[in-house]
């Protein structure tokens, strides 16, 4: 979905405030939310993709104001309300291990292949950042097939797909204002990619 979470390339957020020696959980509730989310997902409340999508579905102003663990809290409340009313339909707990899956076909692309990303604006969850949509890149590495987040996030199943690291020249992404000698590598699933010359 075209949401506030998709921040790559945005302007207006200012300087990075890198404070040394900050506490891991400045407030106690943050640590509890972190652990609660881990256990609740492990027990099948939601898979990682549904959890991320619950965060992305937050109102944009809340996404920005609630902070990192505040977003996790919001997502836990959303998922609990959606899934734990009455007879809970929780995920199979076996979905919580590694996302790597064996599939009965080989990868469509090999390292060095030229590809173009698709130009789609799905309303649901996806892991193609907007800044890399409809852009030309080169396959840098072929990874094993993994659970496909776009379908796994909303109950349409794992539908595993090969994962690739794709390299993009900074000029392809940012045009004339791109910084020189810079390459951005993004991990993208096979359906996002088409062959190009």
In this complex, which beta carbon is closest to other proteins, that of residue 19 or of residue 105? 19
Query: Distances in Å between the alpha carbon of 129 and those of 9, 23, 95, 118, 176?
Result: 10, 30, 25, 11, 20
| By CB under 8 A, residue 65 contacts other proteins | no
| By CB under 8 A, residue 128 contacts other proteins | yes
Among 192, 174, 191, residue whose Cα is nearest residue 183:
174
| By CB under 8 A, residue 7 contacts other proteins | yes
What is the rounded distance in angstroms from the CA atom of residue 173 to the CA atom of residue 131?
A: 7
- Binding residues for other proteins, rule CB under 8 A, total 81
In this complex, which beta carbon is closest to other proteins, that of residue 121 or of residue 197? 121
Which of the residues 130 through 189 are near other proteins (CB under 8 A)?
131, 143-144, 146, 149, 163, 165, 173-174, 179-189
In this complex, which beta carbon is closest to other proteins, that of residue 96 or of residue 154? 96
CB-based contacts of 166, cutoff 8 Å, min separation 6 = 115, 117, 132, 137, 138, 139, 140, 185, 186, 187, 188, 193
| By CB under 8 A, residue 32 contacts other proteins | yes
Residue 136: exposed, middle, or buried by beta-carbon count in 10 A (0-12, 13-18, 19+)? middle
In this complex, which beta carbon is closest to other proteins, that of residue 38 or of residue 155? 38
**CB 195, min distance to other proteins, A:** 20
């Amino acid at each position: 979905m075209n949401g506030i979470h998709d921040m790559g390339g945005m302007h207006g957020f200012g300087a990075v405030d890198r404070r040394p020696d900050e506490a891991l959980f400045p407030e106690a509730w943050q640590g509890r939310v972190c652990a609660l989310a881990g256990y609740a997902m492990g027990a099948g409340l939601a898979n990682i993709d549904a959890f991320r999508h619950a965060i992305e579905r937050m109102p944009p102003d809340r996404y920005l104001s609630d902070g990192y663990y505040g977003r996790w809290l919001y997502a836990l409340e959303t998922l609990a309300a959606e899934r734990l009313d009455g007879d809970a339909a929780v995920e199979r707990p076996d979905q919580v291990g590694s996302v790597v899956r064996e599939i009965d076909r080989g990868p469509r692309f090999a390292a060095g292949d030229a590809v173009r990303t698709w130009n789609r604006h799905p309303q649901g969850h996806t892991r193609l950042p907007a800044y890399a949509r409809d852009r030309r890149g080169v396959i840098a590495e072929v990874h094993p097939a993994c659970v496909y987040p776009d379908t796994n996030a909303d109950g349409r199943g794992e539908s595993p797909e090969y994962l690739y690291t794709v390299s993009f020249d900074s000029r392809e992404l940012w045009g004339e204002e791109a910084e020189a000698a810079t390459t951005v590598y993004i991990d993208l699933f096979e359906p996002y990619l088409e062959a190009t010359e």
